């Protein structure tokens, strides 16, 4: 924060008497499984295609293909896929035949690296790792060994063993996974400790003879989010990623998408019912974003499903905002790939009510219902959460538009409000920030759904975001409210090609910060906002602007993350207007709660600025502040698939003083400044 006496001081007068209420949950997060955000990221299980249920995208014919053994390397007599006496109707497994010895290798999630046989499991010295699998023994007598090794087969962990006999004798003693052992499936579990720090692969060895069946292979670090909590006994989350989300202090989370909600082809839409219950009951699907991968190779295992998302919301104090399909496959891609057949479920068909509408009603029951009265609520309780999740919002579709969508929205919302009038149903405004495209939706809202929250998206240049800081100043307060569901300054709608180099840099963060001051000023109409996308596996970019990069070993917040953290952590639900003309390129926002003022100043120009805020009813004294910025607009934080995070830019500490209600902010060019000031004591 540079002090320069020659800089002209601009006086700004705060109008505390005109303070007005704004949203108390403006800043949240949007989690979509893109860029290996969930499997390969948030999901703590490092095993790729863990259940032998892999479903992938055939990019040539644009269809789903089942490849149960993909991403596994077997050396031995024989391995095939089986379904007979599977754990559920959705389940497949590996049938393994051993003659003396065999080995089974899984490399983890390499993303878009060259080939998939790249050791991608992060192993750290001294860390404990748990291996588990479901086993049904047929005729095998022998020993199973488990160890993480590097690419040359050298040990990275200790090795652990269990003995298995044809009579179902297993040592150590297994855990039955069904109410009875009639089907013979049991869970084996072994622990190993890391001896070196490196990327490795999981090696399962078999010594003996005979046949056994294998399913639901799990290998994870014991450093889990909320390890040992019984409600988290299904899917497990990677702790460092969750803690990075927690530091944002998000007030809500939208999930699971995004485009994956709509799906690319019929049957690819995200069906939440396939993501709950026991892990082996969950039905895999290909990830729509596989279109960006050369081999279409990304399966959604749903180890992390709707139950886990709701639990995460609860743990981080976020309101859940689930979004479901409106019965339309991704409209953008339907046009792109010229898909015509069955891309919409007819509104007047029984399937629409029995599938699409019922998915909404049943989800609300799953989240909020009484386990004694509803089977979906009973499933929630059985999974480990008897109490309701307190769902208040639900999104109808994603980036949909046009007459067909509006009719579907009306039909779905009518059915929801007939049974659950308290649920707020958000409406889509398409996929562009162009207000002409949004107008038909807003006209529909004004006529039929006054007060509803409309989901607008904005991907554009940093310059657009700066110029659009006043976008919401003239929005009709009586019409409805805005959810800025997806936004980032990535140049997309400006006709600029997104690249790693021009994304997530100081330039984009400054543009977003300027825009966010406008959202705060209009927090009476902008109800919620979330940057997009949230997470990205380094080197596997399916979208070139992401809030948090990570690799198997580390987390790397972007410059844009730090901007979001500053705005979210320095925020109050009341806006304090001001008068006075700000210098060109400078933006200001002052909010407060019952105890503090929160001041944000953004200087998008390269010239220094000095602001004097008067009328600030804060106590006199010197207070800590934070400042983010630098001289180079293209500076960005970096991480690759196998390297450490290089944090070139993050908030730095600063100080400010308040004297007799005056606050002077000396703001160097290209800086984002925030401070928190206590209110003056009342006489």
Across the range 381-398, mean pLDDT stands at 98
Q: How far apart are CA 455 and CA 432, in angstroms?
A: 11
Which pLDDT tens digit goes with each residue over 398-417? 999 999 999 999 999 999 99
* Residue 467 to residues 512, 514, 528, Cα–Cα distance (Å): 11, 9, 20
DSSP state of 497: P
Q: How far apart are CA 39 and CA 606, in angstroms?
A: 42
Average pLDDT along the chain: 94
pLDDT at residue 513, as a whole number: 98
Which pLDDT tens digit goes with each residue over 520-531? 999 999 999 999
Decide: residue 474, CB within 10 A, 0-12 exposed, 13-18 middle, 19+ buried.
exposed
The yes-or-no verdict on residue 19 having pLDDT over 90 is yes
The pLDDT-based confidence of 170 (bands split at 50, 70, 90) is low
Which pLDDT tens digit goes with each residue over 47-80? 999 999 999 999 999 999 999 999 999 999 999 9
Across the range 556-584, mean pLDDT stands at 98
- E strands in 54-140: 55-58, 63-66, 72-75, 78-82, 93-106, 121-123, 128-137
Sheet holding 9-14, edge to edge: 20-21, 574-575, 586-592, 596-603, 671-678, 621-629, 652-659, 662-667, 609-614, 9-14, 578-579
- Bridge partners, residue 9, by sequence: 610
Q: How far apart are CA 72 and CA 487, in angstroms?
A: 38
The yes-or-no verdict on residue 450 having pLDDT over 80 is yes
The yes-or-no verdict on residue 516 having pLDDT over 70 is yes
Q: In terms of Cα–Cα distance, which of 320, 429, 314, 304 is closest to 364? A: 320
Across the range 580-608, mean pLDDT stands at 97
- Bridge partners, residue 191, by sequence: 130
The pLDDT-based confidence of 184 (bands split at 50, 70, 90) is confident
Helices (H), 253-297: 259-262
Which pLDDT tens digit goes with each residue over 331-385? 999 988 988 778 999 999 999 999 999 999 999 999 999 999 999 999 999 999 9
Percent with pLDDT over 70 in the chain: 96
The pLDDT-based confidence of 179 (bands split at 50, 70, 90) is very low
What 3-state DSSP class applies to 489? Answer: strand
Cβ–Cβ < 8 Å for 674, 653: no
Which pLDDT tens digit goes with each residue over 31-48? 999 999 999 999 999 999
Which pLDDT tens digit goes with each residue over 506-515? 999 999 999 9
Q: How far apart are CA 669 and CA 610, in angstroms?
A: 10
φ and ψ of 11, to 5 deg? -90, 130
Cβ–Cβ < 8 Å for 131, 160: yes
The yes-or-no verdict on residue 493 having pLDDT over 80 is no
Q: How far apart are CA 290 and CA 176, in angstroms?
A: 36
Percent with pLDDT over 90 in the chain: 88
The yes-or-no verdict on residue 457 having pLDDT over 80 is yes
> Which is it for strands 121-123 and 198-221: parallel, antiparallel or unpaired?
antiparallel
CA angle 116, 238, 260 (to 5 degrees): 65
Q: How far apart are CA 485 and CA 425, in angstroms?
A: 14
Cβ–Cβ < 8 Å for 121, 199: yes
Helices (H), 272-421: 306-316, 331-336, 350-351, 358-368, 375-383, 403-419
The pLDDT-based confidence of 169 (bands split at 50, 70, 90) is low
Which pLDDT tens digit goes with each residue over 238-251? 999 999 999 999 99
DSSP state of 155: B
Q: How far apart are CA 364 and CA 358, in angstroms?
A: 10
Sheet holding 453-460, edge to edge: 29-30, 252-255, 319-324, 393-396, 424-428, 453-460, 481-489, 526-531
What 3-state DSSP class applies to 85? Answer: coil
The yes-or-no verdict on residue 107 having pLDDT over 90 is yes
Cβ–Cβ < 8 Å for 529, 484: yes
Residue 644 token pair: 């450490």
Cβ–Cβ < 8 Å for 238, 129: no
Residue 260 neighbours by CB distance under 10 Å:
25
DSSP state of 200: E
Residue 460 neighbours by CB distance under 10 Å:
24
Q: What is the pTM of this model?
A: 0.96
Q: How far apart are CA 20 and CA 333, in angstroms?
A: 43
């Amino acid at each position: 924060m540079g002090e320069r006496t020659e800089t002209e001081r601009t006086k700004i007068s705060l109008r505390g008497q005109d303070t007005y209420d704004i949203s108390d949950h403006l800043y949240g997060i949007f989690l979509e499984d893109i860029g290996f955000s969930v499997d390969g990221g948030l999901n703590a299980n490092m095993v790729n295609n863990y259940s032998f249920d892999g479903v992938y995208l055939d990019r040539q014919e644009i269809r789903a293909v089942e490849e149960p053994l993909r991403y596994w390397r077997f050396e031995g007599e024989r391995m095939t896929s089986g379904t007979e006496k599977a754990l559920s109707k959705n389940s497949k497994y590996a049938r393994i035949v051993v003659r003396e010895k065999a080995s089974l290798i899984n490399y983890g999630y390499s993303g878009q690296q060259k080939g998939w046989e790249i050791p991608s499991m992060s192993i750290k010295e001294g860390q404990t790792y748990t291996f588990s699998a479901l086993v049904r023994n047929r005729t095998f007598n022998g020993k199973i060994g488990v160890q993480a090794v590097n690419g040359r087969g050298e040990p990275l962990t200790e090795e652990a063993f269990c003995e298995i006999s044809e009579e179902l004798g297993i040592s150590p003693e297994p855990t039955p996974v069904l109410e009875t052992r009639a089907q013979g499936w049991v869970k084996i579990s072994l622990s190993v400790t890391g001896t070196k720090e490196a990327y490795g692969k999981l090696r399962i060895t078999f010594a003996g003879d005979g046949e056994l069946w294998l399913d639901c292979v799990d290998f994870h670090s014991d450093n889990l989010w909320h390890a040992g909590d019984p409600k988290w006994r299904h899917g497990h989350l990677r702790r460092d990623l969750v803690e990075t989300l927690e530091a944002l202090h998000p007030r809500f989370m939208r999930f699971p998408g995004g485009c994956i909600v709509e799906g690319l082809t019929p049957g690819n839409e995200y069906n939440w019912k396939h993501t709950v219950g026991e892990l082996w009951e969950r039905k895999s699907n290909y990830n729509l974003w596989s279109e960006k991968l050369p081999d279409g190779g990304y399966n959604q295992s749903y180890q992390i499903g709707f139950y886990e998302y709701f639990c995460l919301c609860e743990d981080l104090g976020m309101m859940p905002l689930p979004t479901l399909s409106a019965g339309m496959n991704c409209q953008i891609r339907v046009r792109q790939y010229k898909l015509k057949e069955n891309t919409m479920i007819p509104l007047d068909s029984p399937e629409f009510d029995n599938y699409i509408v019922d998915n909404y009603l049943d989800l609300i029951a799953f989240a909020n219902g009484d386990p004694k009265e509803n089977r979906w609520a009973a499933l929630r309780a059985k999974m480990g959460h008897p109490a309701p999740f307190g769902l208040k919002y639900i999104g109808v579709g994603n980036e949909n538009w046009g007459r067909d969508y509006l009719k579907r929205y009306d039909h779905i919302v009518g059915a929801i409000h007939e049974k659950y009038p308290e649920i707020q149903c958000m409406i889509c405004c398409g996929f562009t920030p162009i207000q002409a495209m949004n107008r038909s939706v807003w006209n529909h809202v004004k006529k039929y759904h006054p007060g509803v929250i409309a989901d607008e998206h904005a991907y554009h240049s940093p310059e657009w975001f700066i110029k659009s800081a006043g976008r919401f100043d003239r929005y009709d307060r009586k019409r409805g409210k805005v959810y800025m569901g997806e936004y980032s300054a990535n140049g997309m709608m400006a006709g600029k090609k997104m690249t790693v180099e021009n994304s997530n840099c100081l330039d984009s963060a400054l543009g977003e910060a300027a825009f966010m001051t406008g959202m705060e000023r209009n927090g009476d109409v902008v109800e919620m906002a979330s940057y997009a996308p949230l997470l990205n596996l380094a080197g596997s970019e399916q979208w070139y602007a992401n809030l948090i990069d990570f690799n198997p070993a580390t987390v790397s917040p972007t410059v844009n993350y730090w901007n979001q953290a500053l705005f979210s952590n320095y925020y109050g639900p009341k806006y304090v207007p001001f008068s006075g003309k700000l210098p060109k390129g400078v933006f200001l926002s002052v909010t407060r709660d019952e105890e503090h003022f929160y001041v944000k100043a953004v200087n998008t120009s390269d010239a220094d600025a000095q602001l004097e805020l008067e009328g600030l009813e804060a106590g006199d004294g010197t207070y800590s502040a934070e400042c983010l910025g630098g001289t180079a607009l293209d500076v960005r934080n970096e991480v690759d698939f196998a390297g450490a995070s290089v944090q070139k830019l993050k908030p730095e500490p600063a100080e400010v003083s308040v004297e007799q209600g005056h606050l002077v902010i000396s703001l160097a060019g290209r800086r984002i400044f925030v401070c928190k000031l206590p209110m003056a004591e009342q006489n």
